[in-house]
């Protein structure tokens, strides 16, 4: 077996080389706390980059989703519409709040919340007298959802949007950045994201009062009193000053990281996209995707090999790849909840899961490593996969 020693990861952390200077500065000032100048600066720099009035640095994107739902007053007995094709952290906080998710299918053009399925869900909810308390959109793999039709529907029914832009830092929708499209918006700085603080997240909004309230909850809900007094239940959700220091130099390089990931995607598409039955996640014309992960699809009508077979072959060569997210409505923990699709016979989120494979996409991926990945995939598909041969 042609086992390579150096493993190629899906999306490993990418340090700029300046993180240690920022960390040293944090140590020297002795701000070893979930407060401090790097946290303040990270929030300010991120809100300026995204184009929103306020930001709150948190210990994870999941914590940001949780506080977002709490700010929207989601509680027991409420329904929340949520994009089905996503990672479970988009939906879990609905359960933390004692509410009930209703999953919405994805659209073939964007791979994100399908406005036609959303409309069906709203019409039923209105008929049943149970409108959702919030709608969670996701900007999957770094591509924005199609916000104009989604927001038109949500505004019509008076329901706020919580944008899960965890994967989409640096992506755009029309003239706005992902992370600025909902009433409340979430970013993640988890280890595999386009910038990473090892773990971390942010909640962003133009509503400064909401962010102030979330800051209060995230810092153990301490009332302004000389002693520890609490008139509400709090959380310990703040990002440490050390981790904010790690994130700041990476944010400065966000544009070159997006360019690098887009270049990686283009190379995959050029090298593999001409093989019959091979396709790639499309880029919607309304904006710029950050191509956080490059996703290839294999049409079962044209190719005999499945994404999982390609994944196994890559693994034998010490290369990490990953199936497309298994939709939430198919997850054992969520299958009892509702699901809306505009196409009963052909749910797009199910098709994406069955046919898609995420390829190594990190901004540190070297050309020679990517060529190795391409060669292996190309060999598997050409030798074994093509149904005509
Ligand atoms: C779509 C999506 N939502 C939410 C999260 C949760 O973010 P975190 O890992 O920072 O809690 C992630 C990634 O981890 C994600 O990919």
Buried b (16+ CB within 10 A) or exposed e, 112-134: bbbbebbbbbbeebeeeeeebbb
- Residue 218 CB contacts under 8 Å (≥ 6 apart), including other chains: 56, 58, 63, 67, 234, 235, 236, 237, 238
C-alpha distances out from residue 87 to 7, 27, 92, 381, Å = 24, 35, 9, 28
143-157, pLDDT tens digit by residue? 999 999 999 999 999
Is residue 25 left, alpha or beta, with left meaning phi > 0 and alpha meaning psi from -120 to 50? alpha
pLDDT at 389: 45
Whether the Cβ atoms of residue 67 and residue 58 lie closer than 8 Å to each other: yes
Q: Is the dihedral of CA 267, 270, 275, 276 positive or negative?
A: positive
Share of the chain above pLDDT 70, in %: 97
> Atom of ligand 1 at shortest distance to CA of 189?
10
Q: Of the residues 171, 179, 190, 235, which should be mutated to test ligand 1's pocket, given the most ligand atoms within 8 Å of the CB? A: 190
pTM of the model: 0.97
According to DSSP H, which parts of 16-146 are helical?
A: 19-29, 37-50, 61-71, 92-96, 115-127
Pocket of ligand 1 (CB under 6 A): 60-62, 86-87, 89-90, 138, 164, 166-167, 188, 190, 201
Q: Cα angle vertex 135, ends 339, 158, to 5°?
A: 120
In terms of DSSP bridges, do strands 134-138 and 79-83 run parallel, antiparallel, or are they unpaired?
A: parallel
> What are the residue ranges in the chain where pLDDT is below 70?
1-4, 384-389
CA of 203 to the centre of ligand 1 (A): 12
Nearest CA owner, ligand 1 atom 14: 190
Q: Which of 256, 168, 189, 113 is nearest to 176 (CA)?
A: 168
CA of 167 to the centre of ligand 1 (A): 7
CA of 257 to the centre of ligand 1 (A): 19
Q: In what order do the strands lie in the sheet containing 294-298? A: 278-280, 294-298, 356-359, 322-323
SS3 category, 129: coil
CA of 335 to the centre of ligand 1 (A): 21
- As beta bridge partners, residue 386 has 303
Whether the Cβ atoms of residue 295 and residue 10 lie closer than 8 Å to each other: no
CA of 64 to the centre of ligand 1 (A): 10
- The half-sphere exposure of 239 on its side-chain side, counting CA atoms within 13 A, is 36
Whether the Cβ atoms of residue 103 and residue 83 lie closer than 8 Å to each other: yes
Q: Of the residues 60, 61, 138, which should be mutated to test ligand 1's pocket, given the most ligand atoms within 8 Å of the CB? A: 61
CA of 377 to the centre of ligand 1 (A): 28
> Atom of ligand 1 at shortest distance to CA of 90?
3
pLDDT at 3: 58
CA of 359 to the centre of ligand 1 (A): 18
Q: Of the residues 62, 103, 143, 193, which should be mutated to test ligand 1's pocket, given the most ligand atoms within 8 Å of the CB? A: 62
């Amino acid at each position: 077996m042609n086992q390579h020693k150096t493993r190629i990861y899906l999306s490993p952390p990418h340090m700029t080389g300046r993180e240690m200077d920022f960390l040293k500065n944090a140590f020297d000032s002795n701000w070893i706390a979930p407060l401090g100048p790097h946290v303040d600066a990270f929030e300010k720099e991120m809100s300026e980059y995204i184009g929103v009035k306020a930001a709150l640095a948190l210990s994870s994107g999941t914590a940001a989703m949780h506080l977002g739902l709490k700010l929207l007053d989601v509680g027991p007995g409420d329904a929340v519409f949520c994009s089905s094709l996503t990672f479970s952290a988009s939906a879990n906080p609905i359960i933390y709040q004692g509410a009930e998710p209703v999953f919405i299918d994805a659209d073939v053009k964007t791979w994100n919340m399908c406005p036609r399925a959303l409309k069906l869900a709203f019409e039923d909810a209105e008929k049943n007298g149970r409108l959702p308390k919030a709608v969670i959109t996701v900007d999957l793999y770094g591509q924005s959802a199609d916000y104009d039709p989604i927001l038109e529907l949500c505004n019509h029914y008076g329901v706020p949007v919580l944008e899960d832009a965890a994967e989409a830092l640096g992506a755009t929708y029309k003239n706005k950045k992902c992370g600025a499209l909902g009433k409340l918006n979430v970013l993640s700085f988890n280890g595999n994201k386009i910038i990473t603080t090892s773990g971390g997240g942010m909640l962003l909004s133009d509503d400064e009062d909401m962010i102030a309230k979330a800051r209060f909850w995230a810092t153990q809900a301490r009332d302004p009193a000389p002693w520890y007094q609490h008139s509400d239940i709090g959380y310990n959700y703040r990002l440490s000053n050390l981790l904010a220091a790690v994130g700041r130099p990476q944010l400065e390089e966000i544009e070159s990281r997006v360019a690098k990931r887009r270049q990686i995607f283009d190379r995959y598409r050029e090298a593999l996209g001409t093989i019959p039955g091979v396709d790639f996640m499309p880029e919607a014309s309304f904006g710029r995707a950050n191509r956080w992960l490059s996703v290839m699809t294999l049409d079962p009508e044209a190719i005999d090999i499945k994404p999982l077979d390609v994944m196994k072959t890559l693994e034998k060569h010490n290369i990490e790849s990953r199936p497309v997210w298994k939709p939430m409505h198919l997850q054992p923990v969520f299958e009892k909840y509702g699901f809306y699709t505009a196409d009963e016979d052909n749910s797009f989120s199910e098709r994406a899961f069955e046919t898609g494979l995420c390829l190594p996409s990190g901004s540190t991926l070297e050309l020679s490593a990517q060529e190795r990945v391409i060669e292996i995939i190309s060999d598997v598909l050409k030798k074994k996969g093509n149904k005509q041969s």
